[in-house]
Amino acid sequence: MCKLLAFSGSLRQHSYNHSIVVAASEGARAAGCKVTIVHLNDFKAPLFSEEDEAVSGIPDGAKKLKTLMMEHDGFLIATPEYNSSYSAALKNAIDWASRMEDGEKPLQAFKGKTAVIMAASPGALGGIRALAALRTLLANIGMYVHPAQQAIGKVSGLVDTSGKVVDEATLKKLHALGKQSVTYTNALKNG
């Protein structure tokens, strides 16, 4: 059984991106994969600095997230779009998780793993520009990024007050993306 780690690059409590990654996770679970959904807020770390790392090591939150990443076969990632790119919180989490500790291989949390990416925005483009930048970053650290992705525009009208995606067409797209992540991850995992 494949194991996917699902998270949003947003630190907002009621993030639309968290809403869509949860919906995609439902599709992955329905396809037989174990999915762990986490919030980056639970793994906060200061902005990455090699000098801070030399003095204090990798912060506990970053270590915990990296451990979770290493325990999973791939990721479902949703990112908000800030100034045409992914969030600083997401980049910081990736930067810390990329740091090698004793007994680890370079980029062990990422290399050879799958990533399925998505974005949501109240605007019409749905965060599509952030996905192009995120795809490049993840490929450069050794991940297999699925060719399919979703950019959900005008998302504020597609979720209810609790943050659950309720629009049937959007749910169908996100469930399908989650299912594709399982097929993709299993194909790579099984050679």
To the nearest whole percent, how much of the chain has pLDDT over 90? Answer: 96
Q: Do 165 and 19 contact (CB within 8 A), yes or no?
A: yes
Give the list of residues 6+ apart from residue 134 with CB closer than 8 angstroms, or none: 77, 79, 85, 86, 90, 117
The dotted CATH code for 3-189 is 3.40.50.360
Q: In this structure, what is the dihedral angle of CA atoms 38, 41, 44, 49, given to the nearest 10 degrees?
A: 90
pLDDT attached to residue 13: 85
The H-assigned helical ranges of 143-167 are none
Retrieve residue 132's tokens.
């192009």
pLDDT, tens digit, 9 for 90 and up, residues 82-105: 999 999 999 999 999 999 999 999
pLDDT, tens digit, 9 for 90 and up, residues 134-176: 999 999 999 999 999 999 999 999 999 999 999 999 999 999 9
Q: Give the three-state DSSP class for 111.
A: coil
Domain boundaries, the chain: 3-189
The C-alpha atoms of residue 32 and residue 179 are separated, in whole angstroms, by 9
